Amino acid sequence: MSGTDDPQGQHYFTARPASAEQRRTLRVHLAGRDVEVETAGGVFSPDHVDLGTQVLLRTVPAPPDRGDLLDLGCGWGPVTLTLALLAPDARVWAVDVNERALDLVRRNAARLRLTNVVAATPDEVPDDLRFAAVWSNPPVRIGKPALHELLTRWLPRLAPGGEGWLVVGRNLGADPLHRWLVEEAGLPTTREASAKGFRVLRVAP
């Protein structure tokens, strides 16, 4: 579900992608180390860590070392795995509507011997859970109404003192989204970085 670019035009935000799976192994750099992960067709950016996610991961401060952390729209898991590697005593929720993505996250967590990852569909996350941090490369291509609904469902679930970090392409509406978060959603938001055509937004309710 994650992603602000989709070069293959696949509907990676659907529950069951119709494309052939074509599992593959990638070597990527996450949390300061080189690791091997599995990806597959039908998920966002299956051939690399996409540029928006790279910008996000270079910008965000270290995650809280305890509590529940959320990767909203996890895809095959670059953000989830980074959070889990950096905060081994926290519980990391990898949330996506794409069942293949969730399967890949589980496989990748097991491959890296990470026991602190929970991969779940949105409705599988307990309603009373509050997050110490939310990191997301949100699926802007689902359209503005659906994106707004997604963000207003999850960002208000930040715990007191928690922060949300979003990366959004400038040409995909980052600045209007920033205004909407502040003026209509009532979520205090600041732009923390701008690089490679992407904005990194910090949400601190």
DSSP the chain: ---S--TT---TTSSS--S----EEEEEEETTEEEEEEE-TTSSSTTS--HHHHHHHHHSPPPPSSSEEEEES-TTSHHHHHHHHH-TTSEEEEE-S-HHHHHHHHHHHHHTT--SEEEE-GGGS-TT--EEEEEE---GGG-HHHHHHHHHHHGGGEEEEEEEEEEEEGGGTHHHHHHHHHHTS---EEEEEEETTEEEEEE--
Give the rounded percent of residues in the chain with a pLDDT score beyond 70.
90
Q: Which two tokens stand for residue 30?
A: 């996450």
CA 192, CA 113: separation in Å to the nearest integer?
32
User: What span, in angstroms and rounded, lies between the C-alpha atoms of 143 and 189?
Assistant: 20
Higher local confidence (pLDDT), 18 or 176: 176
Per-residue pLDDT, 10: 40
Give the pLDDT mean for 55-81: 97
Q: What is the pLDDT of residue 112?
A: 98
Longest dimension (CA), the chain: 43
**Would you say 139 and 13 are in contact if contact means Cβ atoms under 8 Å apart?**
yes
Give pLDDT, residue 16.
Answer: 58
Q: Is the pLDDT of residue 32 over 50?
A: yes
pLDDT one-digit tens code per residue, 141-182:
899 999 999 999 999 999 999 999 999 999 999 999 999 999
What is the pLDDT at residue 3?
Answer: 53
Q: Say if residues 17 and 46 touch (Cβ distance below 8 Å).
A: no
Residue 19 has pLDDT above 80, yes or no: no
pTM of the model: 0.90
Average pLDDT over residues 23-33: 94
Q: Please report, as a single letter, which amino acid is at residue 66.
A: R
